[in-house]
Amino acid sequence: MNRKEFIKQLDERVKLIRTEYDFNQEQMAHILGISKKTLVEIEKGRSSLGWTGAVAVCTLFSNSEILSGIFGGEPTDMIVAIAFEDNEPKYPKTMGGKVWWRIIEERNGYKLQQNIVSQHYRILNQEDERIRASFDFELMKKQFEELQ
């Protein structure tokens, strides 16, 4: 998934998320910092949240069942995987992938995992800290092998 696909997923579901939280258009627009007119245009498919708006939706509504279903867990994982594709940050410790992840390979305490919904990959170290995330399997496989 790239930024464009990510934004499209949010554009198509912003109304569902608004409904899930029982907000009217005016309330939702205020929360997102956009006009009601802009929100209406997004909900009708005539406009877009853009990257910043999509990130705001995922951040503000991170507990959304709809978002969890789209991205396979915490939506901020998707944001980080997309935003830091070429510039990896130091990630906080994870829970080790007990719910949304399958282990592709495990060696010397390192795990190469794939999200079962979004299909993106990540590498965890021995302390279950994420050290890399990407949609590029070949890149992830290569970096995983370099850790050995």
135-144 confidence digits (pLDDT tens): 889 999 999 9
113-132 confidence digits (pLDDT tens): 999 988 999 999 998 888 88
Domain ranges for the chain: 3-83, 101-146
What's the average model confidence in pLDDT over 14-40?
A: 97
pLDDT of residue 81: 80
Place of tokens 């969890």: 68
Instruction: Copy the structure tokens of residue 44.
Output: 């009708």
In words, the CATH class of domain 3-83 is mainly alpha
Beta partners for 113? Answer: 103, 122
Q: pTM for the complete prediction?
A: 0.62
Mean pLDDT of the chain: 89
List of long-range contacts for 110-117, beta carbons under 8 Å, 24+ apart:
110/144, 110/147, 110/148, 112/140, 112/141, 112/144, 115/71, 115/72, 115/73, 115/77, 116/72, 117/69, 117/70, 117/71, 117/72, 117/73
CA 98 to each of CA 16, 67, 101, 105, 117: distance values in angstroms, whole numbers, following the listed order? 27, 18, 6, 15, 14
